[in-house]
Structure formats: C-alpha cells, structure tokens
Amino acid sequence: MFFASDNSSGVPVQVLEGLARANEGFAPGYGGDALTEQVRARIREIFEAPEAAVHLVATGTAANALSLATFCPPWGAIYCHRVAHIEEDECGAPEFFTGGSKLVLLNGEHGKISPQTLAEKLQGAARVGVHNVQKGMLSLTNLTECGTRYSVAEVSALASVAKDHGLPVHLDGARFTNALVAEGCTPAEMTWKAGVDVLSFGGTKNGLMGVEAVVIFDPAKAWEFELRRKRGGHLFSKHRFLSAQMDAWLTDDLWLSLARHANAMAARLEAGLKAVPGATLAHPRDGNMLFATFPHAAHSRAQDAGAAYYFWPGTQSPAGNDSAPMNARLVTSWSTTEAQVDQFLALLAQR
C-alpha cells in the first residue's frame, strides 16, 4: 500500500534484462555507442519527428532545467503554474541553469493554466522596456502536479497564446505517458503538433531507474543543449546504461502498458473511494494520481496498517477531531497491484 509517489516503485524485469544485455563488452562512451543512436532514432519515430534532437539525462530536474536554459535567456520570464514542479520542487534549478531567469507564477484551477490567464499576463508584460525581465518562455506540466491532464486542444490553445508573443513552449512530461494514454492521442499530437518546442519525456516515474529523454523538435538548439548537459555534469560516460533502459522501455510498447496499468490502478482507487463515507476528490483524476479528502479516522486505519502517502499540501499529521477530513495525495505506479488498492480501500471504508 505504497501511494507516496510513483518514484518509489522499482523497475520491471525487462529493464534489468536490458541492462544485462547492454553490459556485454566495451562500448564507446558519452553516447557514441550504437544502442544510444538506436534509441534516439526510435524516439524520433515515436514522435514522428525525424529531425528532432534527443538527449538522455538521469533526472527530471536536469531535463527540465536544461530545457529551460536552452530556450530562455537569463533575463527571461518563465511562465508556469504556481504549483509547477520547476517552481516548487527543484530547489531553484531553473534559476541556476538559466543564469537567473524569473519564474512568473500563474493561478489556475486544478493545477492548470487557462489560455485566458496566460494571455492577460502576457498582455500586461507586453510593453515593459529594459527595466523588467522580458517575456521568455511558457512551461506546462502534463499530467499536472494536481494529477489533471491538459487535452491536446488545451495545450494547443496555450501554445498559441505563447506563440503570439514569440515564446517557446516547454512541456514537463514527468508523467507524460500517463497523460498520453489517458488522452488517447499520438505523442506528436500531444507535443509538437500542439506547439510544444521541447519536451521532458519522463521515464523514471514510469518504470525506469533514472532516465528522461529531452526531445527538442527544432534541432537548431541541439548543440547548445549538448554543451549545457555536459557543463551541468549530466552527460553520462557509460551512456549505454541510460540507453539500455530506455530501449527496453520503448520495446513492445512497454512504456504505454506501464502507464495504462498505473492509470487503471488510480481509476480503481477513484471508483472505490465512492464507497468511502465522506470521501471526496479535490481534483478530477485524469491519470495515475488523485487527491482525496476523507475522514481522519479512515487515515488512521490506513496508516496504522502501513499505507504510505503524503498529506497535500503540507505533510503535517492531523491532530484532534477524528472526523476532520484531510487531503491525501495518492499516486499509483506500474507496480501497484489491485490487491494493494483493494486492501487500502477496505481500510478506508471500514466502519
């Protein structure tokens, strides 16, 4: 009953097997090996983007911060949601990698920015001169930090506003695959066809040990990204071990299956919560993450039985009144089982 985060899960056996296969003999370092080239080609194919630059890194923070730095100058404003991972969970990595750009925070229900909110903000920023930071970039997250999903149409609408102001668009896709399979569209539709310029294509939360692909749809930025990656200490010498994981993950649509399973487990949780007295959802569930409010007593039963999850926002334990409703962030992963979900639901629903 571990619902604290999808990054608490391990990796499927295919990934271990991939590592073992890649371990044979010597291989050129720093991405010069054949397997890396194969993985890059495969990702270009999946995204129907034969010109795209593809780079692997090991953490989502690296993928995001390097992407932002490659597209936004130090004096640029990066527009993002108030609860975006780049704002709340990266200890200022975007500011560090960009050389001091400014994150401009936008409000929006359920973790989503509306095109109107963005348009108004950019309109207001339109005529500042040298005194203020300049309009730099838009960064979206899909799935959002609230577990909701931007539809293709919503991404398009937001990117369209950004383009009206000449801004490139970054997509933090730490849970991209969860959004993708929920939306039921193609990777291309979810990204460059909707106006995304650079994607952090997350593997770690969906079954890898620590691999993210940065996909840059305009290859003119590729060399700058490579230099920034190296300079950031994010170029692996034994790069084949990143590629091997990604290769296993992309083979036979494993990445899609893993995300579908995680989403299905969250759907099962959602369905089961309807039977829990007093339980409500704080946000619509679109993928593998849900934010549920339920009574203190239910929390106590679950936690006493070993269930792990975060109270959100804030990590405080509740005090006092047993019936006080509390907000739980529940994240499922590729390795969550039906039995775990059902056991958890049974504890909550118990009287």
- Contacting a second copy (CB under 8 A), which of 154, 226, 270, 342? 226
User: In the complex with a second copy, which residue's Cβ is closer, 192 or 249?
Assistant: 249
Min separation Cβ 293 and a second copy, Å: 19
User: Of 107-115, 186-194, 230-238, 278-286, which part binds a second copy (CB under 8 A)?
Assistant: 230-238
Residues 265-284 interacting with a second copy (rule: CB under 8 A): none
User: In the complex with a second copy, which residue's Cβ is closer, 162 or 331?
Assistant: 331
Min separation Cβ 199 and a second copy, Å: 16
Residues 154-213 interacting with a second copy (rule: CB under 8 A): 204-205, 209-210
Min separation Cβ 277 and a second copy, Å: 28
Please tell me the total number of residues recorded for the chain in this structure: 351
Whole-angstrom distance, CA of residue 115 vs CA of residue 109: 12
User: In the complex with a second copy, which residue's Cβ is closer, 4 or 152?
Assistant: 4
Whole-angstrom distance, CA of residue 138 vs CA of residue 108: 15
The tokens of 170 are what?
């970054």
User: Of 17-25, 178-186, 286-294, 341-349, which part binds a second copy (CB under 8 A)?
Assistant: 17-25
Min separation Cβ 237 and a second copy, Å: 4
228 is a site residue for a second copy (CB under 8 A): yes
User: In the complex with a second copy, which residue's Cβ is closer, 115 or 210?
Assistant: 210
Build a one-symbol-per-residue string for 325-344: x at contacts with a second copy by CB under 8 A, - elsewhere. ----------x---------
101 is a site residue for a second copy (CB under 8 A): yes
User: In the complex with a second copy, which residue's Cβ is closer, 96 or 282?
Assistant: 96
Residues 78-97 interacting with a second copy (rule: CB under 8 A): 88-93, 95-97
Min separation Cβ 90 and a second copy, Å: 7
Build a one-symbol-per-residue string for 20-59: x at contacts with a second copy by CB under 8 A, - elsewhere. x-xxxxxxxxx--------------------------xxx
Whole-angstrom distance, CA of residue 55 vs CA of residue 65: 13
Min separation Cβ 341 and a second copy, Å: 14
Build a one-symbol-per-residue string for 232-261: x at contacts with a second copy by CB under 8 A, - elsewhere. xxxxxxx--x--------------------
67 is a site residue for a second copy (CB under 8 A): no
Buried b (16+ CB within 10 A) or exposed e, 291-328: bbebbbbbbebbeeeebebbebeeeeeeeeeeeebbbb
Cβ-proximal residues to 202 (8 Å cutoff; 6+ apart), any chain: 60, 63, 173, 174, 175, 176, 177, 212
Min separation Cβ 195 and a second copy, Å: 25
351 is a site residue for a second copy (CB under 8 A): no
Min separation Cβ 334 and a second copy, Å: 12
125 is a site residue for a second copy (CB under 8 A): no
